[in-house]
Amino acid sequence: MIVIEKLTKIFGYYPVLRGIDLSIEKGQFLALLGPNGSGKTTLLRILTGLSKPSGGQITIGGWNIPDEIAAVRQQLGIVSHLTLLYDTLTAEENLMFFARLYNLPQETRAERVAAMLERVGLGKRAKDVVNTFSRGMQQRLAIARALIHDPAILLLDEPYTGLDQDASALLDQLLHDVAGVAEGQRTTIMTTHDLRRAHSLTSHVAILSRGKVGFYGETTAIPADDLPRIYADTLGAAS
Amino acid sequence: MTTYHPNRTRLLNMMTYISMGLVFLSSLMVFAYARPEALQGNAQKIFYIHLGTFFGSFVLFSVAVVGGIQFLRTRNNKWDILGLATIEVGLGFALVNIVTGSIWARPIWNTWWTWDPRLLTVTIMWLTYAAYMMLRSGIEDPERRRRFAAVYSILAFSSVILTVVIIRIRPDTIHPVAGGPSVTSPDASGDFNMSPRVVQTLMFSIFTYIVVSITVAWHRIRLENRAQYIQSRKVELLLNA
Amino acid sequence: MTTPYWRVVAALAWKDLRAEIRGREMVTSMMLFAAISVMIFSFALELDDAAQQESVGGILWVTIAYAGTLGLGRSLAAEKDKGSLDALLAAPVARSALFYGKMIGNLIFTVAVGFLMVFLCTVLFNVNLFVPTLWLVILLGCLGFATTGTLVASMSVHARAREMLLPILLLPVLLPVIISATRASIAIVTELKVEDWLPWIQLLGFVDFVFLLMAFFLFDYIVEE
């Protein structure tokens, strides 16, 4: 589904990505781990077409990125640590706006928006303005926004930033429902610092260290208690 | 990484000496060849530098537009350096243009400054390019800085066009028009008789200052190349430390 | 695959209008600023009747430009601060459609301020501005303002001290629009002949056209990384 080969990205004179090789199958839920500055966010931004790679090859479903990104955009959904929402619009208006941007058919648009709001547990708050929402509710709405056009690929950049325990637990459940593992259809990539969460949610784990993939493996093959050690070893080996 | 071709260095050195020679020659022409003008006397002589530096900055700002367009097309760093160098040096030349104009205006118009459309637009042109420098220093991400600078250098050229066009469309300017048709020429105060010697000297000064401006901009490009090379070496050393 | 151009433009403009109708923050502050600056002008200049007629065109456009700059900064900051600009760029839409969508929103707000000014100036300066040709000038002038403004503001929004940088970057580039709009307005208000104001309107239209074209080509380069 997503194939990344020898990907590099240089900011000014500073190489953030120094040759990433990664291949993600359809239906996988990949956790991208790594310390700050290891290039996780940069990698996601390149996959979204928001940033241009300096070198290497990327294909998504056979399309070249970034040259043929236009063909893939309809299949991408993004969530970041920012909400990507409009504070002064209601939940419903936000979703309707993005439904328009993604050119969902007019007849089913309202239905789809209502269904998505229901799915993230915001059905009752549809007519409320977003800036009256708690951080957790905003993040759930952000996920509804990312899924409004039913994308084949979901990219999550630190979706847990700023959430409290309860909100995080709700988000866990939601991600489990909508991401690759449960549906088996959607390919999901999530960057996070939370090793335990990564282990419980995802099907694969990749650890980025100094702009390279330091470790890659199936989550089921790693005992939950070993992940912190592997993480520390990977970072230690690279420095 | 920039390498220096000995031939290019030789050419630049040659241009530097030629520039010096040209400035000397044109000064000679201004003070010895062209006779003092009947109405304005010696004050008129500053006009040669005044016009020359305007043409110098005009050429540099035009080159900056080419640099901007080429940068957006190719994303080659050298076009950004060209834009930066030409605009920075162009600002210097435009400043000399404004100051010499003001010095000339004192005896002729009896004031250092007047709110004439031409003076206004040329000052706004200067401010526009000063804003370009502000934009550069305000954006931290170097890649984005280059991109925005290129876009703005294209937009900013509208102020140059306005400066060139304004005396031909605003009937109320008192600024003399050098060359080309104008609605004002007949009674603009400060106009002077263009004897053949004056015209020759004027043309020669314009040529001189265009050559000087290109030479200075070229030196600025070299300086920027050096600075960026040192910067990149620093980063390399830090990374490998 | 790509969403139809006009639909993107309409969706964005609709979104901005909707948010503004709900919050009314931007237009309210723009209009208050416009009203205050007219007051300050009238105090500072202390004009007699003839002078009022002469200078009302200038006051009109200086105020529209300053109040408009205030609105522009907010309009673009709203896209940047919650990251929604990224969401727009990730969507399957033409980049220039995003530009025209934002531009139309800004145009509507600026025109609103323009017509408030028509009303205020007519009442306060005792000069009749209810002249259809002047409204045409206001529309064209605001079009030029919104075009250049949206383009420049989408750059300045990425800068440190963006509120300070925007007017510095915008006003000098805007000068051709302001000069021709002011000249046309003054000529119309002082009831000069057609041949005195028509060239300025033509020039204004031409400048608008050039900026619209430039924005079409340059906006792509501003938003991509």
Q: Which of A77, A69, A65, A44 is nearest to A152 (CA)?
A: A77
**What string of pLDDT tens digits covers the 239 residues of chain A?**
899 999 988 876 778 898 899 999 888 889 999 988 888 999 999 999 888 888 899 999 889 988 888 889 999 999 988 889 998 899 999 999 999 999 999 999 999 999 999 988 899 999 999 989 998 899 999 999 999 998 999 999 999 888 888 888 888 888 887 765 555 678 999 999 888 888 888 889 999 988 889 899 888 888 888 888 888 888 886 54
Q: Which of B51, B165, B42 is nearest to B97 (CA)?
A: B51
Digit-coded pLDDT (tens) for C58-95: 999 999 999 999 999 888 888 888 889 999 999 999 98
High-pLDDT (> 90) share of chain A, %: 43
Q: Which of C160, C173, C218 sits opposite B138 (nearest CB)?
A: C160
Query: Subunits touching A (CB < 8 Å, at least 3 pairs)?
Result: B, C
Digit-coded pLDDT (tens) for C162-181: 889 999 999 999 988 998 99
Q: What DSSP line would sit under B83-107, residue for residue?
A: HHHHHHHHHHHHHHHHHHHHHHHHH
Would you tell me how many other CB atoms lie within 10 Å of the CB of residue A171? 22
Q: Could you list the residue range(s) of the whole structural domain that residue C46 is in?
A: 5-223
How many CA atoms lie less than 13 Å away from C89 in the CB half-sphere?
A: 20
Q: Going from the first residue of chain B to its last (241 residues), give the mean pLDDT of each consecutive group of 10, the final group possibly shorter.
A: 72 93 90 74 81 94 96 92 96 94 83 79 92 93 91 93 75 59 44 73 92 95 91 78 62
Digit-coded pLDDT (tens) for C183-204: 999 999 888 888 888 888 999 9
Chain B residues near residue A13 by CB distance under 8 angstroms: 231-232, 235-236
**Best residue of A63, A94, A96, A100 to probe chain C, by most C CBs closer than 10 Å:** A100
CATH number of A2-238: 3.40.50.300
Alpha helical stretches, state H, A135-226: 135-147, 165-178, 180-183, 195-201
Q: Do A11 and B141 touch (CB under 8 A)?
A: yes
Q: Where are the domains of chain B?
A: 44-174+194-240
- Cα B173 to Cα B54: distance, rounded to the nearest angstrom: 18
Which residue from A minimizes the CA distance to C18?
Answer: A89
Digit-coded pLDDT (tens) for C93-126: 998 999 999 999 999 999 999 999 999 988 888 8
Strands A187-191 and A29-33: parallel
Q: Which of A29, A18, A28, A22 is nearest to A5 (CA)?
A: A22
- Please report which helix (H) or strand (E) contains residue B6, including its range: helix B6-28
Reported confidence tier of residue C160, pLDDT bands at 50, 70, 90:
confident
CA distance A201 to chain C (A): 25
- Cα A200 to Cα C149: distance, rounded to the nearest angstrom: 49
Chain C residues near residue B148 by CB distance under 8 angstroms: 155, 158, 222
> Is the omega angle on the peptide bond into residue B176 within 30 degrees of 0, that is, cis?
no
Is the CB of residue A183 less than 8 Å from the CB of residue A147?
no
Reported confidence tier of residue C225, pLDDT bands at 50, 70, 90:
low
Strands A14-24 and A2-11: antiparallel
* C127-130, Cβ contacts within 8 angstroms, sequence gap of 24 or more: C127/C52, C127/C53, C127/C56, C127/C189, C129/C56, C129/C60, C129/C189
> How many domains are contained in chain C?
1
Q: At what angle do helices B196-240 and B6-28 cross, to 10 degrees?
A: 150
